[in-house]
């Protein structure tokens, strides 16, 4: 039941001890505030890292050739390894049961692309159709390279949105002819990429067409595959590691490379790297929770100490109340209500302030690894209620002791 007299008494007590009340409330509010900020930035880090991994498939394995650094079977170091279509066929056939998407590639970094007097230098890549999904690219107009394009070595091209903006401005590029190093290709699609403009400065051609344009014969520059995912993330990581090692061993054997030569064939699995990053994020989040909860506990201890002081100061008053018939439950309720009020008000103040700061500062943060720092409001609110419960518990202990004081003992207190 709501009793106006009790609330008046509580406010009067708080008013008489303004500094003590403010310091107690500040310790509680700062605990919630710090926890909200830490959790917000923890989520921001998670969003940023997730965004970075979304630029490409997180379960991909990339193969790039290099230069041998060790003598092996009579062959001198310093040999440049050249991947062939036979290498791609061997890898995809031997490990096909564990491979989901696959593409070989032949690329040049400074291909000259021109259209109607506009030109620029872009990365030109000959690829297979699966490249679209390995790169997480979205077709915003037209289509991507298909199998028929590759089989028939068609002169078609799929351009990035940045290339489209540079060369075509506002006009529709579909069906138009662009010159790729002096040879005409018809634009059949425009793509966007979560990696942004850097990834959208690419031009994709059918692999067979690119090999002919650049006189590459049977050469390829890289191999990309994705691992078939399982429901268990750790099992998928183990499969990725096993597949990475298997591909490396197979290619080294085919090209007469020392097994311990790390530079001749570079095989990188992104799934293992993703696990390391996500494990780090979980660790950071746990540390943030630990620091935030530690700060809250300090505030709760402060509330408990203040309640003990309040009970000590009001011992004689409590004795008088009991002498004139006040029940122990009313004594407990009076002190407990004050503790809960201070904790609730301070906790909500810290919560609102923290959320407000995240809303104000979050959009201003320009970082690839911290994006949209935010807190789940339900989790934050639940934390406040847990804090209120803990604050009430901290106030209950001295309140219960006060209710058990004998009136004669309390009246003798100085």
What pLDDT does residue 278 have?
Answer: 67
What pLDDT does residue 66 have?
Answer: 92
Phi and psi at residue 195, to the nearest 5°: -75, -10
What pLDDT does residue 385 have?
Answer: 79
Exposure string of 211-241, with b = 16+ CB inside 10 Å and e = fewer, is: bbbbebeeebbbbbbbbebeeeeeebbebbb
Specify which residues 52 forms β-bridges with: none
Which class for 75: exposed (0-12), middle (13-18), buried (19 or more C-beta within 10 A)? middle
Question: Is residue 265 classed as helix, strand or coil in its secondary structure?
Answer: strand
Alpha-carbon distance 63 to 248, whole Å?
A: 8
- Tell me which residue of 297, 298, 289 sits closest to 40, measured CA to CA: 289
3-state helix, strand, coil in the chain (%, to 5): 55, 20, 25
Query: pLDDT tens digits, residue range 313-334?
Result: 666 666 677 677 777 777 777 7
Specify which residues 64 forms β-bridges with: 266
Delimit the domains of the chain by residue range. 4-52+276-412, 82-254
What pLDDT does residue 21 have?
Answer: 72
What pLDDT does residue 2 have?
Answer: 53
Beta strand pairing call for 138-142 and 60-65? unpaired
Q: Which residue has the tokens 């989901």?
A: 100
C-alpha 404, offset from chain centre: 54
Threshold 0.85, pTM exceeds: no
Q: Which two tokens stand for residue 413?
A: 């207190």
What pLDDT does residue 269 have?
Answer: 81
Q: Are 7 and 242 in contact (CB under 8 A)?
A: no
Element (H, E) at 344: helix 328-361
CA atoms within 13 A on the CB side of 39: 22
What pLDDT does residue 188 have?
Answer: 96
Low-confidence ranges of the chain (pLDDT < 50): 1, 54
Question: Is residue 146 classed as helix, strand or coil in its secondary structure?
Answer: coil
Q: Are 244 and 118 in contact (CB under 8 A)?
A: no
What pLDDT does residue 184 have?
Answer: 93
- Tell me which residue of 56, 208, 187 sits closest to 132, measured CA to CA: 56
What pLDDT does residue 255 have?
Answer: 93
CA atoms within 13 A on the CB side of 338: 28
């Amino acid at each position: 039941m709501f009793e106006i007299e009790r609330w008046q008494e509580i406010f009067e007590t708080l008013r008489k001890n303004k500094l003590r009340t403010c310091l107690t409330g500040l310790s509680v509010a700062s605990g919630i505030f710090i926890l909200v900020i830490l959790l917000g930035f923890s989520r921001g880090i998670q969003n940023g890292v997730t965004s970075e991994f979304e630029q490409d498939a997180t379960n991909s394995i990339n193969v790039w050739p290099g230069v041998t650094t060790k003598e092996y079977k009579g062959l001198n170091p310093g040999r440049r390894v050249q991947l062939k279509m036979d290498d791609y066929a061997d890898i995809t056939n031997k490990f096909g049961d564990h491979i989901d998407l696959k593409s070989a590639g032949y690329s040049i970094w400074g291909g000259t692309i021109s259209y109607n007097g506009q030109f620029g230098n872009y990365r030109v890549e000959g690829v297979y159709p699966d490249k679209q999904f390995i790169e997480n690219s979205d077709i915003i107009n037209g289509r991507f390279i298909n199998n028929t394009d590759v089989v028939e070595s068609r002169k078609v091209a799929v351009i990035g949105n940045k290339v489209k903006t540079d060369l075509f401005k506002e006009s529709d590029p579909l069906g138009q002819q662009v010159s790729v190093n002096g040879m005409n290709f018809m634009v059949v699609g425009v793509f966007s990429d979560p990696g942004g403009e850097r990834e959208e400065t690419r031009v994709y051609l059918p692999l067979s067409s690119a090999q002919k344009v650049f006189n590459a014969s049977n050469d390829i520059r890289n191999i990309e595959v994705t691992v078939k995912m399982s429901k268990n993330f750790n099992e998928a990581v183990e499969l990725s590691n096993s597949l990475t090692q298997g591909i490396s061993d197979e290619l080294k054997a085919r090209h007469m490379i020392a097994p311990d030569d790390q530079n001749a064939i570079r095989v990188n699995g992104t799934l293992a790297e993703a696990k390391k990053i996500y494990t780090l994020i979980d660790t950071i989040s746990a540390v943030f929770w630990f620091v935030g909860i530690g700060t809250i506990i300090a505030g709760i201890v402060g509330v408990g100490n203040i309640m003990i002081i309040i009970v000590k100061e009001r011992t004689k008053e409590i004795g008088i109340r009991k002498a004139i018939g006040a029940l122990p439950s009313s004594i407990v309720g009076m002190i407990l209500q004050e503790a809960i009020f201070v904790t609730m008000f301070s906790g909500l103040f810290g919560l609102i302030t923290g959320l407000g700061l995240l809303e104000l500062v979050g959009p201003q943060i320009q970082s690839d690894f911290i994006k949209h720092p935010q807190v789940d409001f339900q989790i934050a609110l639940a934390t406040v209620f847990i804090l209120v419960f803990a604050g009430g518990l901290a106030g209950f202990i001295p309140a219960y002791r006060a209710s058990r004081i004998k009136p004669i003992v309390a009246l003798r207190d100085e």
